[in-house]
Structure 1
Amino acid sequence: MDSSQLLPQNHGSVQELAKELKLDLVPQRYIQEHLEPTFVSNHSSLLPSIPIIDMNDFVGMLESDNGSLTKLRSVCQEWGIFQLVNHGVDKSLIKKMKEEVVGFFNLPVEEKLRYKLTAGEYQGYGQTILHAQDQKVDWADRFYMITNPLHRRKPHLLPEFPPVLRETMENYLLELQKLAMHLFGLTGSAVEIDKQEMMDVFDDGMQSVRMTYYPPCPEPDRVIGLTPHSDAAGITILLQVNDVEGLQVKKDGVWIPVNFLPDAFIVNVGDILEIMSNGVYNSIEHRATVNATKERISLAMFFNPKLEADVGPAKSLTTNTGEPPVYKTLIMEQYLKDFFSRKLNGKTFLERMKIKNGH
């Protein structure tokens, strides 16, 4: 990561700011001038909803019976996001994880600032990382940290969490790691990537977690909780911590709200899986809006290749399909440095990774 690109910032808390605000007093640094509207329909039946993938459909699946894989491929290609049900992660663990995340954001601000971001860092607790003096700030507080490989953990973050939160988080990370590896095997098989290649790339790969608190805002239509983006990840697994919604995805040029199913995870394709699928899959653009009267809390886990792995169209896929590679290949560590350098000259990172005249 090019730390010189990160500017010092206000280490205060949007959560604390929101408690003091009166109507029409949202500071200018949070006001977004040109927010695209959300899709609105007079008939709820006309509102598109993201697809559902049931993990039970893959239990005992035979190679010859690939209907479930065909559906998974179609969903990842057309949407790049789905709700995952019957995922097998223990409900009591999820309930405990939700309680502990809520508890963290309810700590006194002085306690949370023990983990605050410092200049040049991107791990810790704080607001939007600033890359430019005039950059707008998201209406959210975040805690982001790398959790795997273990030697890349910051000793003052997860190891210093309150004991119950630390233990619950460790158990949750292990369960989602297993789930993510299963999903990598399935999404790879659906586009003719050999399972072993997916395991070699992602097993014991780089993993990170982000807890996000979106305070209520008196002017919710003039701020954004999470700036529109696609994830620089293989896949992201999102847990809605409380019942307030705000996640939206951009489909066919319009922003569609995501209505969470009880006990479901939201799984979205990231840039790296789109690259590995040679452009078959869609790294979905998404954002988060905020509520006028209610807080929203979420917990996202990001799963990436190991740092020494190649990031490019999967070799087994291009061999099996005969299709030429659409994207360049980089070592994961270089990929991350390039991504976080922000020197993209007005292009998205995926556009920059595309091979000229690739098709």
Structure 2
Amino acid sequence: MGSISDETVVENVDAPTYVPSLPVPNVQELVKEDPLQVPDRYVRDQDDILQVNVMSWLSPEIPIIDLSLLSKGDKEELNKLDLACKEWGFFQVVNHGVAKKVLQDMEDATAEFFEQPFEEKNKYAMPPDDIQGYGHAYVVSEEQTLDWSDALILVVYPAQYRKLKFWPSTPKGYKDIIEAYSEGVKDVGVELLRSFSTIMGMDQDALLGLHEELVQALRVNYYPECSRPDQVLGISPHSDTSTITILIQEHDKHGLQIKHNGGWVPVKPVPDALVVNVGDVIEV
């Protein structure tokens, strides 16, 4: 994998800045200073907590799609994808072509990044006029209830939109790992857009043609332990405004939930699978 050093990628001064965000404390640092502290700004109204009502262990599991079959135009798998999008808006993909080592390296390096001292991570702090960098995005008011999480957000494609000052140089090799992971996910996204076009009755490359200037961003989330887990949420319930979201979750973590038929269904991790969220653009 080629280097993504400052010498090989030129930053575009006209790169979009997106939504400004008000500065707030890093949750991980709050926990380090006082593990029992949960500031009021993170405490949810109990009605909000009760609405996130996880369905029982008998709840259905989200569909699993074989991307290698989709790429061959398999009609049965395309029908499964069609139903997954219409009835769930979520699915997991297997046989997607992203190497297991790439996924594991991404998980390991990201964990190592967040384990670093705050001073090291804060070298890449998110500025007040952008969402790229390390911090807490989408804070738009002083009264807003905050998520119990920190994030690192980077724009990776188009390459000229990269702001390399926010790409961590530690742990060693993290930049190359981000590059390899992002390239693999991009290939998965291209294949999915082709399949979406097909099941919507369009030419296979119709959606790709509408995404020639597609902006692909990477977001990694860190959820510190909380002394009052029944009063906070790692990420607020939401729909993604994007075309699609492709993500990995740690194999031994079960925090991700999706809303289905009025209840919240836990997404059980499938080894080496990628979770796909159909965004608002595709839904429209």
Q: TM-score, normalised by structure 1?
A: 0.69
Runs of 4+ in 1 over 6 A off after TM superposition: none
Q: 2:53 aligns with which of 23, 32, 38?
A: 38
Give 2:68's aligned amino acid: N
Question: Do the aligned partners of 2:106 and 2:178 also contact (CA within 8 Å) in 1?
Answer: yes
- Structure 1 SS opposite 2:165: coil
Question: Do the aligned partners of 1:128 and 1:138 also contact (CA within 8 Å) in 2?
Answer: no
Q: How many percent of aligned residue pairs carry the same amino acid?
A: 36
Q: 1:260 aligns with which of 266, 269, 283?
A: 269
Question: Do the aligned partners of 1:38 and 1:257 also contact (CA within 8 Å) in 2?
Answer: no
Match of 2:28 in 1: 15
Q: 2:129 aligns with which of 109, 120, 126?
A: 120
Question: Do the aligned partners of 1:128 and 1:137 also contact (CA within 8 Å) in 2?
Answer: no
Q: 1:196 aligns with which of 194, 205, 226?
A: 205
Q: Could you tell me how far 1:111 is from its partner in structure 2? A: 0.6
1:71 aligns with 2:80: yes
Question: Do the aligned partners of 1:249 and 1:256 also contact (CA within 8 Å) in 2?
Answer: yes
Match of 1:153 in 2: 162
Aligned residue pairs: how many? 266
Cα-to-partner distance string for 1:16-69 (whole Å, 9 max, x where unaligned):
21233344x31101001132132242xx3x2121111112333543xxx62221
Distance 1:2 1:106 in 2: 27
Q: Could you tell me how far 1:163 is from its partner in structure 2? A: 4.5
Question: Do the aligned partners of 1:80 and 1:268 also contact (CA within 8 Å) in 2?
Answer: yes
Match of 1:58 in 2: 70
Give 2:26's aligned amino acid: S
- Structure 2 SS opposite 1:103: helix
Single out whichever of 135-144 and 151-160 deviates more from structure 2: 151-160
Cα-to-partner distance string for 1:131-156 (whole Å, 9 max, x where unaligned):
11200110000011211111211131
Pair 273,40 (structure 1): closer, same or farther in 2 beyond 3 Å = closer
Give 1:252's aligned amino acid: N
Structure 2, unmatched stretches of 5+, are 1-15
Distance 1:2 1:202 in 2: 19
Distance 2:137 2:145 in 1: 9
Distance 1:176 1:9 in 2: 30
Match of 2:153 in 1: 144
Q: Could you tell me how far 1:215 is from its partner in structure 2? A: 0.6
Pair 66,2 (structure 1): closer, same or farther in 2 beyond 3 Å = same
Distance 2:148 2:110 in 1: 18
1:217 aligns with 2:226: yes
Instruction: Kindly report which structure 2 residues correspond to 1:1-359, keeping only aligned pairs within 5 A, or say none.
Output: 6=20, 8-10=22-24, 12-23=25-36, 25-33=37-45, 34-35=48-49, 36-41=51-56, 44=57, 46-58=58-70, 60-61=72-73, 66-158=75-167, 160=169, 162-203=171-212, 205-241=214-250, 243-275=252-284
> 1 or 2 for the larger relative contact order (CA 8 Å, sep ≥6)?
2
Give 1:38's aligned amino acid: N
Cα-to-partner distance string for 1:183-231 (whole Å, 9 max, x where unaligned):
1101110111222222212245210000100011111110010011111
Q: Could you tell me how far 1:159 is from its partner in structure 2? A: 7.2
Question: Do the aligned partners of 2:26 and 2:136 also contact (CA within 8 Å) in 1?
Answer: yes
Distance 2:135 2:263 in 1: 30
Distance 2:169 2:67 in 1: 35
Question: Do the aligned partners of 2:22 and 2:140 also contact (CA within 8 Å) in 1?
Answer: no
Give 2:200's aligned amino acid: V
Give 2:204's aligned amino acid: K
Question: Do the aligned partners of 2:223 and 2:234 also contact (CA within 8 Å) in 1?
Answer: yes
- Structure 1 SS opposite 2:129: coil
- Structure 2 SS opposite 1:156: helix
Aligned Cα RMSD in Å? 2.0
Q: Could you tell me how far 1:274 is from its partner in structure 2? A: 1.2
Distance 1:159 1:131 in 2: 26
Question: Do the aligned partners of 1:6 and 1:129 also contact (CA within 8 Å) in 2?
Answer: yes
Question: Do the aligned partners of 1:181 and 1:203 also contact (CA within 8 Å) in 2?
Answer: no
Question: Do the aligned partners of 2:157 and 2:216 also contact (CA within 8 Å) in 1?
Answer: yes
Q: Could you tell me how far 1:115 is from its partner in structure 2? A: 0.7
Pair 130,60 (structure 1): closer, same or farther in 2 beyond 3 Å = closer
Distance 2:35 2:134 in 1: 25
Question: Do the aligned partners of 1:250 and 1:256 also contact (CA within 8 Å) in 2?
Answer: yes
